[in-house]
A and B are shown apart, each in its own frame.
Chain A
Amino acid sequence: MTTVSPPLNDNRSDPRSARELIAFCIGEQEFCVDIMSVREIRGWTQATPLPHAPSYVNGVINLRGAVLPIVDLAARLGFPRTVPTARSVIIVVRVEQQLFGLLVDAVSDILTITDELLQPTPDLASDLAKTFVRGVMAIEGRMISLIATDNVLPQFQSAA
């Protein structure tokens, strides 16, 4: 881990310039993702469970005709599974060509930060968390972790 985070998917981001992040809550903790990877934010709808899926995959929902897999971010980070309520939120993100939804408890803020604010993930974090957390930052006394969206979906070997 270097002190400066690698550039995000958004190639336009100049390391010196401000970067916008969407912050959200899972339980008591706050996380954020780069706003450029977020396609939309929508309310919770009942997902259709997928057989043989990892426990952190809630299932799939219909996003205007597309089949959108939903990842329970809490479970993915090793926390207890989220029990979705009507107030839960799905953040639809795009990684390369794949679209998927992150199930979180609530969206809390939109942040504008520069890269100096981003600190490397502390060593005591679990391996699981380190895989998905690109760095942490302190904002107004809160700790917010930046999520690396690339690895959130389970990896599949490309179908032969």
Chain B
Amino acid sequence: MDAMAEIRQTFFEECAEQLAELEAGLLAIENGEADSDTVNAVFRAVHSIKGGAGAFCLDDLVHFAHVFETTLDEMRSGRLDSSEKVVKIMLRSADALADLVTVARDGGTADAERNAGLIDELKGLVALAKGEEPPAPTAAAGGGASDGPVYDDGMGDIDFTPVAVDLSDLMGIGGDNKFRIVFKPSPRMYAKANEANRVLRDVYALGEAKVSCNTSEVPHLTAIDPEGAYLTFTIELSTAEPEEKVREVFEFVEFDCDLSIEAIHDAPDGDIEADDPDIAEILARIRATPDDEPTPAKTDEAEEEAPVAAKANQPEPEPEQAKAAPQPAKPAAPSAPAAAKADAAGDGKGGAGVGGAAQTIRVDLERVDRLIDLVGELVIHQVMLSQRAYQAGLARASDVAVGFDELEQLTREIQDSVMAIRAQPVKSVFQRLPRLVREVADISGKQVRLVTEGEWTEVDKTVIERLADPLTHMIRNAIDHGLEKPEDRLAAGKAEEGVVRVAAMHRSGRIVIEISDDGAGINRKRVKEIAIKKGLVPAEANLSDEETDNLIFLPGFSTADKISSLSGRGVGMDVVKRSIQALGGRVSIASRPGKGSTFTMSLPLTLAVLDGMIVSVGDQTVVVPLTAIIETLQPKASEVKSFGGDARLVQVRDTFMPLVDVARELGYSHELASATGGVAILVEAENGARSALLVDGIQGQRQVVIKSLEANYGRVPGIAAATILGDGRVALILDVDAVVATSRVEGNFFNSGMKHAAE
């Protein structure tokens, strides 16, 4: 039972991969980037899902996948154009297939009506494809004449002659052991997706081999069974390997072929009948990597090239050929494509496997996290140890000090490498977007094209996981609120199809994700009206454009006139903003009326470490995240202006900004600190507002391991997290935005929103 559950889980994991590949392939086709490989990949994906689903008796899934596969097969064989309409249906079918997989995994019910509709549409496509195709099924089925253009592969009149091949120039060095191997594959072997070529290739790898192929059993083409097996290979092998090694090559096929291996002691000679360039070419091809043998090309070559070449390269009428022949009675005959598919997949994977065995392993995330925790401790202790040693009077130039330096470097490297284990490309989130965009576009009746960039940008897994929700929300918003209806777009002189662009990039140690649309931009007048109506801002508030744009992040703000199923349920951008802030990120808007809006999310690459400036506040040591800091300065008495009450401003060049007394904000001191005695750190809050944080002094700058305060205590206003410094003491990491916000003058409407977000 457990084993079964495990296999089932593996199946669903693979399904997810196949679905991703399917979607990626279809999108490539939609963009006109499709080649035969893409179409094959798409076909394979659906086929694999069907195959696996069959094994688990998931009938709905099998049925749908089968119809889908049939349609894809028409496309693969070139009878169905990959027109926009066709691809759209296929994309929707891919979504339906994904739903069916989810239903099969988690239970629930699929949208049977939609699926039935899609099945009809898919069948319609097949009929369409058939309609354009001269119906040649009877000819093929009857096996009467080779008159159909597709069926005639030009091999009807070929006289097959046995060929022997001298491989001494091409293959590995021979050895002392000589064997005569007679290898006659049976149809079963091919049905199991084994291939004589591969076996022979493995034999060649053992040493010097001469292969001759007995084709006397091959019937006339009209009588040929496309899935039959008619060839016998005789191999004279000279190798350094013992017989066991030779048998090993045939290990997987020995029950599906007639095989005899006998050791011979005289040097075989004179058996070589042919030594012509064609054969050399064939051998080269046999030895070549599977990727170099495009399957569709085989049939063409067979028609045009030397018959012997065709014969030797295609020792068997392969399932591929069976497929090339029209068999409309069962256009996606499960067995034939199954073999073809398994073969192709096997080739691909096998090739990768040979190139670098076991390139990835699946590891429990918990283990990785444990390792990361431990390495974090290691870093702390390493720092602690060296600090203590220096305090105890260790000379900087001593051998021990050099050792400490090396140890430090090593621990940093270990830390970086461990962090890299968790890093993943954002692709896993991005690849869910096309479907989302399609669905939202359908519901909202808008035409949307999604452009993604930088999907290979890497970021920590936790960040990726928690990125999906805000990103989904923002894209929904971009389509629902940002883009105009097609007719409005035309009226505004834009293309009917709106563009939503999602781009990820690394920027100064953070990952930045931009979601932009080319819609109407934020209607500031309306935003302000709504905010006033909802009591979020006082009616007389005088707001800059930027402040107005930021109103949409306030809790309870929603511009939608009516509640649609997409957005406008009152949980809007404030939720997005809070979830991003919870990740240590920020979000900002840039909007140009008529041109569109851009939302920019900036997130830390990892949630485990942070670059910080270590500062003294009162008797305490506090860490200020480096990402928030613009510059530091020592204010002069003339630059600090009192601004009513305790509020002070500091002049930096020609701008004034509020001076925030950190010790006071954190309750470490109740006295107003002297501005000239300390250091001002210029920070930028996520709404772009700048403030100066007044601290007593700067101790240094370093990477700190983030420790959660919430785990054992709870959230502390003004504090983002904690860390442990080299002296073993806990230092708090400042939440710059919250500190700046709480310091704002009472009555500022931003205050409540910020406080809310900080809670």
For B690-717 the 0/1 string (1 means CB < 8 A from A) is 0000000000000000011111111111
The answer, yes or no, to whether A26 is at the interface (CB within 8 Å) is no
Query: Does any Cβ of B come within 8 Å of A69's Cβ?
Result: yes
A8 within 8 A of B: no
Decide if B712 touches A51 in the complex (CB within 8 Å): no
Interface set, chain B 107-156, CB cutoff 8 A to A: none
Contact of B713 (CB < 8 Å), options: A46, A60, A62, A65: A60
Instruction: Select which of A52, A53, A59, A67 is within 8 A of B712 by beta carbon.
Output: A67
Are B377 and A65 interface neighbours, CB within 8 A? yes
Kindly state whether residue A80 has any CB partner on chain B within 8 Å: no
Report yes or no: B714 in contact with A65, Cβ–Cβ below 8 A.
no
Q: Is the CB of B719 within 8 A of A156?
A: no
Residues of A within 8 A of B759 (CB): 159-160
Q: How far is the CB of B411 from chain A (nearest CB, A)?
A: 14
B722 touches A51 (CB 8 A): no
* Most chain A CB atoms below 10 A, which of B377, B710, B729: B729
Of B668, B713, B717, B730, the residue contacting A100 (CB under 8 A) is: B713
CB-CB under 8 A from A103, the residues of chain B are: none
Q: Of A52, A65, A153, A160, which is within 8 A of B716 by CB?
A: A52
> Which residues from chain A contact B377 at a C-beta distance below 8 Å?
64-65
8 A Cβ contacts from A44-76 to B:
45-53, 59-62, 64-69
Task: Find chain A residues with CB under 8 A from B712 CB.
Answer: 66-69, 98-100
Neighbouring B residues of A156 by C-beta, 8 Å: 713-715
Task: Tell me how far the C-beta of B743 lies from the nearest C-beta in chain A, rounded to whole angstroms.
Answer: 12
A45 to B45, CA, bound (A): 61
Alpha-carbon distance between A111 and B91 when the two chains are bound, in angstroms: 71
**Contact mask B496-522 → A, CB, 8 Å, 1/0?**
000000000000000000000000000
Q: Taking CB as reference atom, which chain A residue is nearest B725?
A: A62
**Can you name the residue of chain A whose Cβ is closest to the Cβ of B579?**
A160
A68 to B377 Cα, complex, angstroms: 15
Q: If the complex has contacts A51-B668, A67-B707, A67-B708, are A62 and B716 also in contact, measured as CB distance less than 8 A?
A: no
B20 touches A (CB below 8 Å): no
A52 near B730: Cβ-Cβ < 8 Å? no
Query: A60–B722 Cα gap in the complex (Å)?
Result: 9
Q: Would B578 and A160 count as touching, CB distance under 8 A?
A: yes
- Which residue of chain B lies nearest to A99 when distances are taken between CB atoms in the complex? B712
CB atoms of A46 and B729 under 8 A apart: yes
A154 in the interface (beta carbon within 8 A): yes
Question: Which A residues touch B718, using CB under 8 A?
Answer: 51-52
Whether, in the assembled complex, B211 has its beta carbon less than 8 Å from a beta carbon of chain A, the answer is no
Report the Cα distance A149→B729, complex, angstroms.
Answer: 25
B380 at the interface (CB under 8 A from A): yes
CA–CA, A159 and B377, complex, Å: 27
CB <8 Å contact, B731 and A48? yes
* Size class of the contact patch on chain A: 20 to 34
Closest residue to B582 on the A side, CB-wise? A159
Assuming the contacts A49-B620, A49-B668, A67-B709, asked whether A62 and B730 have C-beta atoms less than 8 A apart, the reply is: yes
What 0/1 pattern do residues 120 to 160 of A give for CB contact below 8 A with B? 00000000000000000000000000000000011010011
Given the known A-B contacts A62-B724, A65-B380, A67-B730, are A51 and B719 also in contact in the complex, defined by CB atoms under 8 Å?
yes
Most chain A C-beta atoms within 10 Å of own C-beta, residue among B373, B714, B715, B730: B730
Within 8 A of A (CB), among B370-403: 373, 376-377, 380
The interface residues of chain B lying within 8 Å CB-to-CB of A99 are 712
Q: Which residues from B are CB-within-8-Å of A51?
A: 665-668, 716-719, 732
B728 at the interface (CB under 8 A from A): yes
Q: Evaluate contact between B728 and A62: CB separation under 8 angstroms.
A: yes
Given A67-B709, A67-B722: A60 touches B714 (CB 8 Å cut-off):
no
Task: Kindly name the residue among A51, A60, A65, A100 whose own CB sees the greatest number of chain B CB atoms within 10 A.
Answer: A51
Highest count of chain B CB atoms <10 Å: which of A45, A52, A62, A99: A62
Is A48 a contact of B719 with CB atoms below 8 Å?
no
Query: Using Cβ atoms and an 8 Å threshold, which residues of chain B touch A48?
Result: 620, 722, 729-732
Is B714's CB under 8 angstroms from A154's CB? yes
CA distance A154 to B709 in the complex (A): 13
Q: How far is the CB of A112 from chain B (nearest CB, A)?
A: 30
Residues of B close to A98: CB separation below 8 A: 711-713
Cα of A156 to Cα of B717 in the assembled complex, Å: 12
Contact between A65 and B724, CB atoms less than 8 A apart: yes
User: A66: which B residues are within 8 A, CB to CB?
Assistant: 707, 711-712
Residue of B nearest to A71 (CB): B713
Give the complex CA separation of A53 and B709 in angstroms: 13
Chain A hits for B714, CB < 8 A: 154, 156, 159
- Distance of B725 from chain A, by nearest CB (Å): 9
Residue of A48, A52, A68 most packed against chain B (CB within 10 A): A48
In the complex, what residue of chain B is closest to A53 when comparing beta carbons? Answer: B716
A49→B619 CA distance, assembly (Å): 10
Interface residues of B in 638-691 (CB under 8 A from A): 665-668
Given A51-B717, A67-B711, residue A60 in contact with residue B380 (CB < 8 A): no
- Known A-B contacts: A68-B712, A159-B582. Give 18 more (CB < 8 A): A48-B620, A51-B667, A53-B716, A60-B722, A61-B729, A64-B377, A65-B373, A65-B724, A66-B711, A67-B708, A67-B709, A67-B712, A98-B711, A98-B712, A98-B713, A99-B712, A156-B713, A156-B715
The 3 closest A-B pairs by CB, nearest first: A156-B714, A51-B666, A69-B713
What residues make up the interface of A, taking CB atoms closer than 8 Å to B?
A: 45-53, 59-62, 64-69, 97-100, 153-154, 156, 159-160
Could you list 16 examples of A-B contacts with CB < 8 Å? A48-B729, A48-B730, A50-B719, A51-B665, A52-B667, A52-B716, A53-B716, A60-B713, A60-B730, A61-B729, A62-B724, A66-B712, A67-B712, A67-B730, A98-B711, A159-B759
